[in-house]
Each structure stands twice: as structure tokens, then as C-alpha cells.
Structure 1
């Protein structure tokens, strides 16, 4: 799996700076940036603020907003602003490269935090989209590399059905363009992955980028204990990709990888088969790498995930099936508070059904 990290931020910033330097002699103050109400100059300064803000949050592991602004020295010309874009881009690149994988810092949309990959994707998105806005305002052509656009879409736009043209899809998803067969976008936000804390684990939401890699036999970007990931996790990643490609994926109702807080190693997968149905019922499943079994990880994670789900207004019950022959899994789901319900489910009655009510 190709990482989304400092190299991608550097690539996006370099492309933006190269283009903007060709028009530094133009009037940036008197021209709006594309469809924005901001001038091209203000938009360029906003790129600087976003890059610096993301670098600051990630560097100090900020739990909330860091209250600062960025002000250009009096008399700074457009070329000077481009210098600041390059400088703040380098700061974000450095923060991403030095941040451990498990570190998260504040971002409001929508689950209140992001990891280094999320900040990289957001930084790249800010650069690509606002460079587009400036270019549109000044009447010049701009098209970033498709691979950068795909990296953004598959990390922070998991709810957006992919299209054949990654750049046009990103523009459409952010209200900047049209796509055949899709309604115009008037309100939008990106979505960093959800992380749910348990006692010894974190349940880390799997992005479409990670799911595609898991489905293809990779690690999904996680460091697994020996023998992982297990077959069920790869199957679940395939379900995530099927929903994503159909445009019906809701990231909080997908796959989570179970990561030990002690060493950052992944030990299994757990998640939902889809969003809750009309009756507020969601189906849940899980597996562990063989070397992690018998240590209470699955029970701990299931309690945490069930607690998160049942705290929501749109969930009334959780449902799971377990093979009759899988006695250890029956113990896991019972210890997590699920109750076996009457009636056999599954082919030839080979499974027990379990339910947990809100």
C-alpha cells in the first residue's frame, strides 16, 4: 500500500508553488478564488495557515484547537506568500515524518481526531483544492497528479463513491464541479477514521485505502503479530470495498483493526456487516490472529464496540452468529453480554444467533 505521508504533502506543495510562481505578478487581491468569497491572496494565505495549523496540532498531539493565526510581514508580495506555502508545507511534512503511527491529534470532522495519515491527507486536500480555486480565479489551468487525488479520496472521503477520474471526483465531492449522474454537492465534509478505545486495545477504523490493501493480501498499513491478518479480516475488508465502490459505505459501520496499546501491533479485526437497518439492528463479527487468542482481547474489544454502538440513538440491538462448533467464540460473545436467542440461523442450522439490546 502506498503511504499517505510527508512525501505526498511535499509533492502537492511543490506542484502548487510551481504553478503559483508563474502568476505572482498578477493581481491576487482584486480577484476571487473560483467559487469562494475569498480573494486569491486570502486563499493562498489560508493554505499557509492550514498547513501550519496541522503541523502544530500533530507535533504537540493537541487535544483541541490551538489558538493562533498566521500574519504576513507588511509588504509581503505574492512571491513571498508562495515562499510561506513552501515553508509551512515543509513543517507539516516534518511533523508527519516524525509522528509515531499511533499518535492522534485534534480535528473536528467528524470523530474529533486524526492520525499522521489523516493530517497528510487533509494537508494535501487543502493544497490541491485551494490551488485549484486560485487557478480558476486567475484563469489558468491546474490539474494535480491523479494518485494524490486518489490518496485523499480513499482516506478522508470514504463515503464518496469513486469515479473514473479521481480529480474530477474530488472537485465534485467538495462542491467545485459536476459529475454525470450525480447531484451537485452543496454541503460536505471529510471523514477521518473513527478510533474507539478499550482497556488494552484501540479499535481503529479501516479506510478504503487500507481495506483495498488488506483485500489484496497486504497489511493495510498495520503492524501485525505473527500470523496476521486472519482470513476473516481480509473477507471483511472485501465487504468494505464492495460498499465503498457502490457508494454506500458508512465508515463508522465498517471494519476496525484491533491494535494493542502496549506495542502498536494489530491482533485482529472486528466490525459491522453494514449500517443499522430500519429497526435499528446491526450485525457484528470478529476474528483474532491465532497467537492473540485466549487473552481476552476479543471480549474486551466487543464490549467497547457494542458500548459505542448502543449509545447511539439509531441502534436498538446488535446481532451476531457463531458456529455451533466454535465454543471459544461462544464464550467471547456471552462474556460481552450477548444472549443466545431461540431459533437456528445459518445453513443447515449450523450457527447460534446472539443478540444484545440497548
Structure 2
């Protein structure tokens, strides 16, 4: 798996500067940037401000708001100087990403008020690709970024967007900048950093499509696993998530999470939803641990954290889990997490209406 890093930020900025340099002697303030309300000079300044703000938040470990500083160009700065500023702010973000410790998160407002180092890299790359396109369009310059950069930001920041036949046109469509055959016009958009839920000794780290795809193919998903590899159930869950993503029905809030141990950053298992809530507000969860992590209460902790998060939502009223009849340890996990064995009528409905296998037992937690 190609993780997002400072190298991708540097590559994107290099492409931006190379594209714009032939127009360095023109008046960028007199040219509108594509479909934006800003002119090209304002757009380039905004891009530099974004890169600097992301670098500042990540390096400064911002928690609840952006670090309170802003960038100002010196009076009389020309286009050549502005390109130098873009190179510099891009280098600062690349350095902040590459020097941040694994698991570091800092403030970003959308959608869960934080992002990790890969998320900041992906946001920076997205800003660069899109605004390079905006400015190139306004200035009449050709611009097409490397396809792998466009695909990377889609799989890291746009898990809710169904992949298209080509990554760059799909990214332009997803951000309201183009059309895609068979899809409606996009009028408003947001990218989507991954959801992270804290527990006592664990962090439930939402998997992005890029990581899920890597796990499905036998990789490590960008994680270091206790025992060297995830349990097979995690790979299977990642595969289902990838299928949902490719079909355009994946909802990132109801995806798969890696269980990352706070003490050493090792992944010890996986947990996630089998789908989105149904019309009755019922949602099913599943989980597993690598063998080396069992018997230490991690599964109970993870189930409790995910269940509490789900039941705090307006669209969830009941969380269920199914367990093999002879899997006593998993049944004890659910009981310790506050689940109860379903009554006869609930199990009958699950078998007859929902297709639950006859060898499974149903456990329920109602909010």
C-alpha cells in the first residue's frame, strides 16, 4: 500500500509550480481561477495558507482550533515570489507529515474534528491538485496530475465516493468541477477524514478504502500487528468494506476499525459494522482479536466503545451481534459489554426474516 506522506505533498506542489511558471509574467489578479470566485493570485495565496495551516496544526498538535497565526505576503510580492511561497509552505507540510509520530492527530473541523498525518498529507495534496487545476484553467494552461495522486486522495479522503473509470475526472466530479457520465452534478462537497474512537487502552481507528484494500490483498493495511498479521476475520471484513466502497454504498461512519493498543501502537484486532442501520435503527457489529491479544479484555473494551458511539446517534436504537453457539469466550465478551441474549421471538425473527444462520445466537443491546 502506498501510504500518504510528505513525498506526495512535494510531488503535487512540484507539479503545481511547473504548471504555473510559464504564466509567471502575467497579471494573475486579473484572471479568475476556473469556476471559483477568486482570481488566480488569491487562489495561489489561499493554497499557500492552507498548506501552512495544515503544517502548523500537525506540528503544533492543535486540539480544538487552528493554531492562531496567519500568513501574509510582503508588499510587492510578484508571481515568482508567490511560487516560492508555495514551494516553501509545501515543504513545511511535507516535513510536518514525515516527522509526526504514527497515530498523531491534530485539529481539522471536518468531519470528526481531527486528522492523522496521512490525512493532513491527503488534504494538502487535494488542495494542490484542485487549485492547480482551477488556476491552470483560468490561465489557459494544460494541467493533468499523476493518476496515482488523484487515486490516492480518493481512497484516503473520499471513501463515500464510488470509484470511477479514471481517478482524476472522478475527483473533479466529486468536488463540483466536472461531469461524470451517469452521475448527477455535485453542488456541495466535503472530504472525509477517518473516524477514531478512544477507549481505555485502545484506539478504534477507522480504516480507509486504501488500507482495507491492502488488508484484503494480504498486506498489513499500514499497521504494525501484534503477532505479525491480522486475524482472518479482519481481512474478511476489510474485503466486504472494499466491495461496498466500489459499489458506492460505503458509509464511512459504519465501516471497519483497527484496534490499536495505546501503549505501543500495535494493532491487536478489528471491529466494525456489518452494514448501515436498517429502518428500525438496528445495526450489527462483529469483532476479532489476534490470538496473542486474547483473554486481556480488549474485545470487551472495543465492543463497549463502539456500541456506546452507535447508540449515541439518532439513527441507531439497537446494536446486535451474532455468536456461534459453542463460542463461550465471545458470548462472555458481549455479556460483559452489556449485551443480553435475545429472547425467543427476537431470535425467531432473526432466523426467519433476516436469514441468521441456525447455528448462531443473537445478542442485543438496546439504547
The bucket for the TM-score relative to the shorter chain is over 0.9
Name the CA distance, whole Å, in 2 between partners of 1:293 and 1:15: 48
Deviates more, 1:334-343 or 1:166-175: 334-343
Q: Say whether the 8 Å CA contact 2:20–2:141 is kept in structure 1.
A: no
Name the CA distance, whole Å, in 1 between partners of 2:78 and 2:162: 41
The alignment partner of 1:56 has SS state of helix
Residue 92 (structure 1) aligned with residue 93 (structure 2): yes
Q: Say whether the 8 Å CA contact 1:227–1:290 is kept in structure 2.
A: no
Q: Say whether the 8 Å CA contact 2:53–2:66 is kept in structure 1.
A: no
* Cα distance, 1:228 vs structure 2: 2.6
Q: Spell out, residue by residue over 1:157-186, the C-alpha distance to the aligned partner (whole angstroms, 9 max, x if none).
A: 000000011000000000000000000000
> Residues 30-109 of structure 1 correspond to what in structure 2 (within 5 A)?
30-63=30-63, 64-109=65-110
Name the CA distance, whole Å, in 2 between partners of 1:25 and 1:247: 44
Name the CA distance, whole Å, in 1 between partners of 2:199 and 2:310: 14
The alignment partner of 1:133 has SS state of helix
Match of 2:218 in 1: 217
Q: Say whether the 8 Å CA contact 1:194–1:252 is kept in structure 2.
A: yes
The alignment partner of 2:269 has SS state of strand
Q: Spell out, residue by residue over 1:111-146, the C-alpha distance to the aligned partner (whole angstroms, 9 max, x if none).
A: 110000000000000000000000011111100000
- Number of equivalent positions: 358
Match of 2:176 in 1: 175
Match of 1:322 in 2: 323
> Residues 150-229 of structure 1 correspond to what in structure 2 (within 5 A)?
150-229=151-230
Match of 2:359 in 1: 350
The alignment partner of 1:224 has SS state of coil
* Structure 1: tracts of 5 or more residues without a match: none
* Cα distance, 1:279 vs structure 2: 0.8
Residue 265 (structure 1) aligned with residue 266 (structure 2): yes
| TM-score normalised per structure 1 | 0.99
Q: Say whether the 8 Å CA contact 2:60–2:67 is kept in structure 1.
A: no
The alignment partner of 1:349 has SS state of coil
Name the CA distance, whole Å, in 2 between partners of 1:278 and 1:213: 32
CA distance change for structure 1 residues 348 and 245 in 2, over 3 Å: closer, same or farther? closer
Q: Spell out, residue by residue over 1:21-53, the C-alpha distance to the aligned partner (whole angstroms, 9 max, x if none).
A: 111111200111000000000000011000000
CA distance change for structure 1 residues 277 and 348 in 2, over 3 Å: closer, same or farther? closer
* Cα distance, 1:68 vs structure 2: 2.1
Name the CA distance, whole Å, in 1 between partners of 2:281 and 2:358: 25
* Cα distance, 1:227 vs structure 2: 4.6
Name the CA distance, whole Å, in 1 between partners of 2:171 and 2:182: 15
CA distance change for structure 1 residues 119 and 348 in 2, over 3 Å: closer, same or farther? closer
Name the CA distance, whole Å, in 2 between partners of 1:192 and 1:216: 23
Match of 2:29 in 1: 29
Residue 4 (structure 1) aligned with residue 4 (structure 2): yes
> Residues 129-168 of structure 1 correspond to what in structure 2 (within 5 A)?
129-168=130-169
Name the CA distance, whole Å, in 2 between partners of 1:248 and 1:207: 14
Name the CA distance, whole Å, in 2 between partners of 1:29 and 1:60: 33
* Cα distance, 1:3 vs structure 2: 1.3
The alignment partner of 1:69 has SS state of coil
Q: For the aligned residues, what is the CA RMSD?
A: 1.0
CA distance change for structure 1 residues 348 and 281 in 2, over 3 Å: closer, same or farther? closer
> Residues 325-340 of structure 1 correspond to what in structure 2 (within 5 A)?
325-340=326-341
The alignment partner of 2:90 has SS state of helix
Name the CA distance, whole Å, in 1 between partners of 2:177 and 2:99: 33
* Cα distance, 1:349 vs structure 2: 2.0
